[in-house]
A and B are shown apart, each in its own frame.
Chain A
């Protein structure tokens, strides 16, 4: 019988051989866990890209972030999502939906992703996500739990409401697995995730240095969050990334010989174009921080189940893109300005992903503010999951023109 998910299984076979590298081990463990769950009929939970894994790890539920599933396939083939995107559109999904979401719907239709037993997401950051995951629930019949986030979080009632959503999530997981949450195990998991996030924050902090020790952004923490945060392998992976930075600093190694510009890429990377960041480095432009690496969470107090749940809720408001997308424009704008200030950005480049209405809607206001502050900004159309809108060559031409005419001194 032909095995399903050949692309991902193939990748798994490759990275399994690289397990001496902690980051590869973390990713291999995650993919291996997904395939074991498929083969053994264990529950798989779709965690949308702002949902971190602690509760699933504590209950031994296999997380599978569908967006990350897409990103993984794009590392092997830039066109990997195209077939699924087209399948979703052919089935009647509107073309303007975020291509990541179209790809997920198409993957389900084409049986290119293991079907979920449960689906969990917050009501942020965007309409794309909310309506796509409702569609996934419809197509797969999987029970879906939404963490309902208030628009403003400045009142105590808002945090209470949000925390109650996490209590509800635990009940949801218990109902759908028939298992009870073991709070001793959850405490261990959260203590482990606290350690992991410490390393993440340290790594992000080290990228503030000038010159940059290693071209960023610092992505391992986010990968850990989506795959296995709370497991020792995740902590080891993020620690290794942090240690790599320290080692480079000790040896006075820098990302590029001459740092001509620090680019704040305050969005997700162009996932199908892995060569873009190295190419930018070749012309002297480095990326110290992006939305993926931008994280600032407090350690969770593990003295009681209550403090843990509240801590997870608080941390749930900080996830990359989740934090910036859950409310008004200033959440993204202020963080972007903070990133420019703290990571000493010379300019901001914003990929204008065609599905991303919530973020595109901030750009006009941001342009005004950036102009007042003298921050050069470039916005350019590129689809992060589909190379058919803007080619790699076009991307490079646009970026080079901007950097050479506006930014490089």
Chain B
């Protein structure tokens, strides 16, 4: 098996062999719902952070007892999976007010609607600012401290400054390696396509980071030898919120678009910015998480617009697709604004609405095909 095969596998299922091995050794796993959770703190506690997905879910029957039909399907499927006991490998869960959907889904956990595997179960909803300024960074320092203390108390561990520094180094290393991967995607004939890149990004949140880093180094070596993708109609920048199914990108790439970069949660937003390794670690994390490239939950759109424009230029994108889960308000308006801005720059842009599970494939195929025809070369 190649290293690339190794790293694209975890995206296909909720659990994977790395998690199983971790659990067999008595390791703890904490699920988290958003890239604004400072995972380094969990890592420094010796716990494996696991980004929540609902991969494999086929219905929302149970989840819909507490979610509404205007809750996004990612949350409905996740809640359904939780109520079916699919996340029993978790020892805790961390969320925040990422959006109205996630905060309400998390309340179902808090209200005891999920059959938890053991008691006490670690549950925490972080209070993460929406603004990007010095006050917000200061608040975040306190919030990370409180988060750290609660993990220490619940799991009876000590999170030392040195452990935090080491975690920052480990995650920075992951982010640097991912940036190297994205550098390859700038080539005229990138050796990796968008579906594969997304699968790697998913793996980066579903296995021990140290192991991930080792394998990703091998992937980078392999890709140096691999023929590039040159038969494409258009180079695309893919944006939007939650997207954890490489098959969606497969659909776009099957029609001749090549996704060369992104502004996704499983993507640049998660790894583009590093934490300072030399500062006091909590302060470094606070700064990194507040000042990183934001998502529309943050009231910081001019910076986001600039980031998208830079990506278009740096990756020589011919067009932008903003994929959006139905009922997601943040990406609804953000998608419209991205279109308006792209239009000013003469960059074709479309918003593609979708559900969490692959559905309405024919309609999506038609829309993508038409979009590619308008921009294809």
Q: Is A22 interfacial (CB 8 A cutoff)?
A: no
A130-B130, A161-B139 as given contacts; A329 in contact with B107, CB under 8 Å? yes
- Write out the residue numbers on chain B whose beta carbons fall within 8 Å of the beta carbon of A355: 70, 329
A358 to B100, Cβ gap below 8 A? yes
B67 to A158, Cβ gap below 8 A? no
B130 to A148, Cβ gap below 8 A? yes
- Write out the residue numbers on chain B whose beta carbons fall within 8 Å of the beta carbon of A253: none
Q: Is B170 interfacial (CB 8 A cutoff)?
A: no
- Write out the residue numbers on chain B whose beta carbons fall within 8 Å of the beta carbon of A314: none
* Cα distance A134–B334 in the bound complex, in angstroms: 9
| B332: nearest chain-A partner, CB-CB | A94
The one of B107, B324, B333 in contact with A361, judged by C-beta atoms closer than 8 angstroms, is: B107
* Cα distance A94–B240 in the bound complex, in angstroms: 14
The one of A132, A328, A356, A360 in contact with B107, judged by C-beta atoms closer than 8 angstroms, is: A328
A96-B327, A151-B96, A328-B110 as given contacts; A146 in contact with B71, CB under 8 Å? no
Q: Mark B44-73, 1 if CB is under 8 A from A, else 0.
A: 000000000000000000000111101100
A365 to B108, Cβ gap below 8 A? yes
The one of A123, A165, A328, A354 in contact with B70, judged by C-beta atoms closer than 8 angstroms, is: A354
The one of B130, B299, B327, B351 in contact with A92, judged by C-beta atoms closer than 8 angstroms, is: B351
* Cα distance A357–B100 in the bound complex, in angstroms: 6
| B336: nearest chain-A partner, CB-CB | A92
A358 to B103, Cβ gap below 8 A? yes
Q: Is B330 interfacial (CB 8 A cutoff)?
A: yes
Q: Is B326 interfacial (CB 8 A cutoff)?
A: yes
- Write out the residue numbers on chain B whose beta carbons fall within 8 Å of the beta carbon of A363: 68
Q: Is B315 interfacial (CB 8 A cutoff)?
A: no
A127-B99, A361-B104, A364-B65 as given contacts; A93 in contact with B333, CB under 8 Å? yes
* Cα distance A134–B337 in the bound complex, in angstroms: 10
B104 to A123, Cβ gap below 8 A? no
* Cα distance A327–B126 in the bound complex, in angstroms: 11
A364 to B335, Cβ gap below 8 A? no
A357 to B326, Cβ gap below 8 A? no
Q: Is A128 interfacial (CB 8 A cutoff)?
A: yes
* Cα distance A360–B301 in the bound complex, in angstroms: 27
- Write out the residue numbers on chain B whose beta carbons fall within 8 Å of the beta carbon of A168: 135
Q: Is B179 interfacial (CB 8 A cutoff)?
A: no
* Cα distance A365–B114 in the bound complex, in angstroms: 12
| B135: nearest chain-A partner, CB-CB | A164
Q: Mark A336-358, 1 if CB is under 8 A from B, else 0.
A: 00000000000000001011111
| B63: nearest chain-A partner, CB-CB | A364
A146 to B127, Cβ gap below 8 A? no
A93-B333, A146-B299 as given contacts; A357 in contact with B108, CB under 8 Å? no
A357 to B329, Cβ gap below 8 A? yes
A128 to B329, Cβ gap below 8 A? yes
Q: Is B92 interfacial (CB 8 A cutoff)?
A: no
Task: Apart from A127-B330, A329-B107, A357-B104, list 14 A-B contacts with CB within 8 A.
Answer: A94-B324, A94-B332, A126-B100, A130-B299, A137-B301, A150-B129, A151-B127, A152-B125, A155-B146, A354-B70, A357-B68, A357-B70, A361-B66, A365-B113
27 CB contacts below 8 A, A to B, read A94-B333, A96-B70, A127-B99, A127-B297, A127-B329, A130-B299, A131-B296, A131-B334, A134-B333, A134-B337, A137-B301, A138-B301, A146-B131, A148-B135, A148-B136, A150-B139, A151-B96, A151-B97, A151-B103, A152-B125, A328-B110, A357-B68, A357-B71, A357-B100, A361-B71, A361-B101, A364-B108
